[in-house]
Amino acid sequence: QVQLVESGGGLVQPGGSLRLSCAASGSGFSIYVMGWYRQAPGKQRELVAFITNSGSTTYVDFVKGRFTISRDNAKNTVYLQMNSLKPEDTAVYYCNRLPVPHPWGQGTQVTVSS
């Protein structure tokens, strides 16, 4: 059973940056498409970005140019570099496999506020 552990969240001022990490246990990580999701209070979880096993990336419009997803297959880890953060980016951020998710991790809280 794959376990996902997200980290790197915190409180940051608008315009600031954070780098999230997601470590996956188990084998097979390098062949997965991996994505970052977020869930704001009272809203459904939404996909933010994903990266294929070959490194191709896709972003939703509201993070294009601000967020960068990357992966290190040797470390079974996927990253999300978030720049120019806005208050509306406040959410719990999760990573998971696409299209069939593993059990969800606990996520990491990102709060953007002055």
Query: Confidence band (pLDDT; 50, 70, 90) for 26?
Result: confident
- Closest by CA to 15, choosing from 102, 101, 105, 114, is 114
Read off the pLDDT of each residue in 36-56 and give the average, rounded to a whole number.
Answer: 97
pLDDT at 7 over 90: yes
Kindly report, residue by residue over 82-111, the tens digit of the pLDDT. 999 999 999 999 999 999 999 999 999 999
Burial class (CB in 10 A: 0-12, 13-18, 19+), 87: exposed
Read off the pLDDT of each residue in 2-28 and give the average, rounded to a whole number.
Answer: 96
Question: Three-state DSSP class for 24?
Answer: strand
Q: State the pLDDT at residue 88.
A: 96
How far is the C-alpha of 88 from the C-alpha of 56, rounded, in Å? Answer: 26
Task: Tell me which amino acid residue 35 is.
Answer: G
- 107 in Cβ contact with 96 (< 8 Å): no
Average pLDDT, the chain: 96
